[in-house]
Chain A
């Protein structure tokens, strides 16, 4: 079979995507420098925020979700997804700097498959993170009135958010090829996070931030997760969250594919 035929064969490309996703996931799980930001840091911040700001429950208008940790865990899911995406971008940049990416380009592999492999692996990572975070929060007092279905919806939304972050980070990595720049982007995760009602109800945010949160797609994702977990429509809408997360994932993946093509043209 010719190279062109291999690139057009969906079965071959599906195997490529699966293999690259598996490789990305293995790298994430094996290296401490990836595991810590993806798993440990969000858990530590969950513990810090749940303990450090729990006095907020005394504020008038704060929704009752049982234990305070049950309210803020939705923000942790999004934070983990974003951090997982950034570490996926760092892996991509490391592959570019280390020359592995050039070897992939020399193989009879469709360019889109290279991007989908990375994004798919991070989506699985996002789902794993979400399960871990929800389990830990449950152990520390969070209760999910939405039951298994609500938890599954939350995991799906987190997974899509991770895919979106991975697509965006991969686009930056492919466009710049700079490992250092990707590492420096790490703090921007918190920018995205704090411009959504990640740890506080939207109604209690500062008015200026509330205006930003109203147009931040992550707002709908985090509120969707919260509503799904607690089976409370007053906290958000899981369907709107799903649409926002899916839109972000598709848009970011398209951006990464465009960056890949731009890279191919310039090298």
Chain B
């Protein structure tokens, strides 16, 4: 067997195993689908009247918040991969993987692939729920594609972040910290209102949060005031690449330290 075929086999096996978690863990999918949907409804219901303000780029607050909920669901799906790694470490299964001749980066690649796959489910279900509730796809096919790229990319970032924490803490109790990180990344941005309506410290901070640009990438799908364009796309792609690179490198470094 060639090195590439072997690597592919190992990556695919770890990918399959990570996907099997969906069937194996009771309630494992709940936070990735049901919670963001109820969060979508709750937030839209809570802050609905904000869209009455002038300078708000859409008359539907649901359309504003829908891409955020998709990112949330995808982020939880990615973060769950980190929590599962923490469990594998705590229960000793990861030590067995480390004794195998598999190249170390593949031990992270399989779960990342699983995160990408798992993210499709909450994104699709949440988006469908939004469409059923009356949100329009103002961005057409381009906007839809941008939303999926943002969601899957964000799941990868969340998975790498989760695995970094799992390799650092080596305990299942790091789970809430992983999810909190996803929450914070999303909320310290233009989550609730556009930049022009932000006041105080968040108005200063949000432009420096990469997730602001990932949200803008995703919002091309449903927010009429954010037109599908390369100008609204490339900052989000760059932000995803930067965050992925950062947490990927840190996770690999921690994995090397773990192996020693």
Mark A residues whose CB is within 8 Å of B: 31-34, 36-37, 41, 44-45, 47-56, 58-59, 86-87, 90, 94, 176, 178-181, 183-188, 190-191, 193-195, 197-200, 204-206, 208-210, 212
User: What separation, in Å, do the CA atoms of A193 and B35 have in the docked complex?
Assistant: 12
Question: Which of B52, B176, B184, B203 lies at the interface centre, i.e. has the most chain A CB atoms within 10 A of its CB?
Answer: B176
User: What separation, in Å, do the CA atoms of A242 and B27 have in the docked complex?
Assistant: 33
Q: 27 pairs across A/B with beta carbons < 8 Å?
A: A37-B177, A41-B180, A44-B184, A45-B187, A50-B200, A51-B200, A52-B187, A53-B47, A54-B199, A59-B53, A90-B175, A90-B176, A179-B173, A180-B175, A183-B83, A185-B31, A187-B35, A187-B76, A188-B31, A191-B38, A194-B39, A194-B45, A197-B46, A199-B47, A200-B47, A206-B46, A209-B42
Q: Which residue of A lies closest to B29 (CB)?
A: A184
When distances are taken between beta carbons in the complex, the residues of chain B under 8 Å from A185 are 31
User: What separation, in Å, do the CA atoms of A186 and B18 have in the docked complex?
Assistant: 21
When distances are taken between beta carbons in the complex, the residues of chain A under 8 Å from B42 are 190-191, 193-195, 209
CB pair B49–A56 under 8 Å, yes or no, is yes
Q: In the complex, what's the smallest C-beta–C-beta distance from B142 to chain A, in angstroms?
A: 28
Question: Which of B48, B171, B203 lies at the interface centre, i.e. has the most chain A CB atoms within 10 A of its CB?
Answer: B48
Using A33-B174, A209-B41 as known contacts, say yes or no to A180 and B46 having CB atoms under 8 A apart.
Answer: no
| Across the A-B interface, the 3 shortest Cβ-Cβ residue pairs | A209-B45, A194-B42, A187-B35
Q: In the complex, what's the smallest C-beta–C-beta distance from A93 to chain B, in angstroms?
A: 10
CB pair B176–A186 under 8 Å, yes or no, is yes
Q: Is the interface of B mostly helix, strand, loop or mixed?
A: helix
**B187: contacting residue among A48, A90, A179, CB under 8 A:** A48
Using A47-B201, A52-B193, A187-B36 as known contacts, say yes or no to A180 and B172 having CB atoms under 8 A apart.
Answer: yes
User: What separation, in Å, do the CA atoms of A13 and B180 have in the docked complex?
Assistant: 37
User: What separation, in Å, do the CA atoms of A189 and B187 have in the docked complex?
Assistant: 16
Q: In the complex, what's the smallest C-beta–C-beta distance from A171 to chain B, in angstroms?
A: 15
Q: Which residue of B lies closest to A201 (CB)?
A: B49
User: What separation, in Å, do the CA atoms of A179 and B91 have in the docked complex?
Assistant: 13
Using A180-B172, A194-B45 as known contacts, say yes or no to A52 and B202 having CB atoms under 8 A apart.
Answer: yes
When distances are taken between beta carbons in the complex, the residues of chain A under 8 Å from B45 are 194-195, 205-206, 208-210, 212
**B198: contacting residue among A32, A52, A199, CB under 8 A:** A52
Q: Which residue of B lies closest to A189 (CB)?
A: B35
Interface size class on chain B is 35 or more
With A51-B201, A206-B45 already in contact, 13 other A-B pairs whose C-beta atoms are closer than 8 Å: A33-B169, A33-B175, A54-B199, A55-B53, A59-B50, A94-B173, A180-B83, A183-B83, A183-B172, A193-B42, A199-B47, A200-B49, A206-B46
Question: B188 at the A/B interface (Cβ < 8 Å)?
Answer: yes
Question: B249 at the A/B interface (Cβ < 8 Å)?
Answer: no
User: What separation, in Å, do the CA atoms of A50 and B43 have in the docked complex?
Assistant: 15
CB pair A54–B49 under 8 Å, yes or no, is no
Q: Which residue of A lies closest to B175 (CB)?
A: A183
Question: B141 at the A/B interface (Cβ < 8 Å)?
Answer: no
When distances are taken between beta carbons in the complex, the residues of chain A under 8 Å from B80 are 184
Q: In the complex, what's the smallest C-beta–C-beta distance from B161 to chain A, in angstroms?
A: 14
Using A56-B47, A59-B49, A181-B26 as known contacts, say yes or no to A51 and B202 having CB atoms under 8 A apart.
Answer: yes
When distances are taken between beta carbons in the complex, the residues of chain A under 8 Å from B53 are 55-56, 58-59
Q: In the complex, what's the smallest C-beta–C-beta distance from B244 to chain A, in angstroms?
A: 23
